[in-house]
Amino acid sequence: MIEIPKKYEERIVAHGEREYPYECVGFMYGLRENGTVRVREVLEIDNHATENKRRRFQVLPMDYLKAERYAEEHELELIGVYHSHPDHPARPSEHDRVQAMPVFSYVIVSIKEGKGADITSWRLDDTHEFQAEELQIENE
């Protein structure tokens, strides 16, 4: 399960709405406790995709290095990646699956006609297939 405080869910959705009709992307930081991932920070990053930003995002290796440094400095873990699906469901694509890493949660926000519509979370299983991850939005 992944728990996301309402303020971070709102930031993820707002990022997706702002970048519409292109995909947005960002990192999630937090802690893992007793099988639950708890988000404690989100950080927007640039989508470096050079083709079809409406259906793809790209994170550069340099972004991951900066993300790991940020996590260490703030005593958090890099726990996942979020991105938007403009005018598509909040379900991972085959491209998402191929690019995914098994240790991360992948939060996807569907943006319909410029407005946030749905938000889901996914993790890879042992066969490198996405499985839905229970997502709980916490009111603070």
Indicate which CATH number applies to the domain containing 85. Answer: 3.40.140.10
pLDDT tens digits, one per residue of 64-105: 999 999 999 999 999 999 999 999 999 999 999 999 999 999
pLDDT at 113: 97
Q: Which helix (H) or strand (E) holds 77?
A: strand 77-86
Q: What is the mean pLDDT of residues 104-111?
A: 98
Q: Give the per-residue pLDDT at 140.
A: 74
Task: Provide the domain limits for residue 84.
Answer: 2-138
Q: pTM higher than 0.85 for the full model? A: yes
Domain count of the chain? Answer: 1
Tokens of 135: 């997502």
Q: What is the pLDDT of residues 15-37, one digit of tens each?
A: 999 999 999 999 999 999 998 99
